[in-house]
C-alpha cells in the first residue's frame, strides 16, 4: 500500500465516496476534488469552517459564524448553497 502526495494545503477533508471528496483550508475556502491528481482541487464559491460529504453526494457545511448550509450546486437551476 502506498500514498500519493497531492498539491495543495487543506485544514480538513471529507470523503463521501471515491469521487465525492471535499476540503476546506485554514482560510475557510472550499475545494472539491477533480479526480485529476496533477490539479486535484477546484475552488468552490463560499466559505466554510467545516464540511461533511455523504455517499449519496450530499455535502453539508457550517460557515465561520455557525450557520449550516447544504451544497446545491450540482442541482439544476440552483445556486451553490442553500
pLDDT in tens, 7-56: 999 999 999 999 999 999 999 999 999 999 889 999 999 999 999 999 99
| Percent composition of the chain: helix, strand, coil (DSSP 3-state, to 5) | 0, 45, 55
Report the distance separating Cα 36 and Cα 62, nearest Å.
27
- Determine contact, residues 15/31, Cβ cutoff 8 Å: no
Instruction: Dihedral sign for Cα 73, 78, 67, 60, please.
Output: negative
pTM for the structure as a whole: 0.87
- Determine contact, residues 12/51, Cβ cutoff 8 Å: yes
Give the pLDDT of residue 73: 82
Report the distance separating Cα 25 and Cα 15, nearest Å.
15
Amino acid at each position: 500500500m502506498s500514498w500519493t502526495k497531492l498539491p495543495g494545503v487543506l485544514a480538513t477533508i471529507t470523503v463521501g465516496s471515491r469521487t465525492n471528496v471535499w476540503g476546506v483550508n485554514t482560510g475557510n475556502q472550499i475545494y472539491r476534488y477533480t479526480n485529476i491528481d496533477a490539479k486535484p482541487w477546484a475552488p468552490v464559491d463560499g466559505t466554510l469552517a467545516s464540511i461533511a460529504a455523504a455517499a449519496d453526494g450530499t455535502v453539508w457545511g457550517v460557515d465561520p459564524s455557525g450557520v449550516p448550509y447544504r451544497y446545491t450546486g450540482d442541482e439544476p437551476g440552483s445556486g451553490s448553497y442553500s
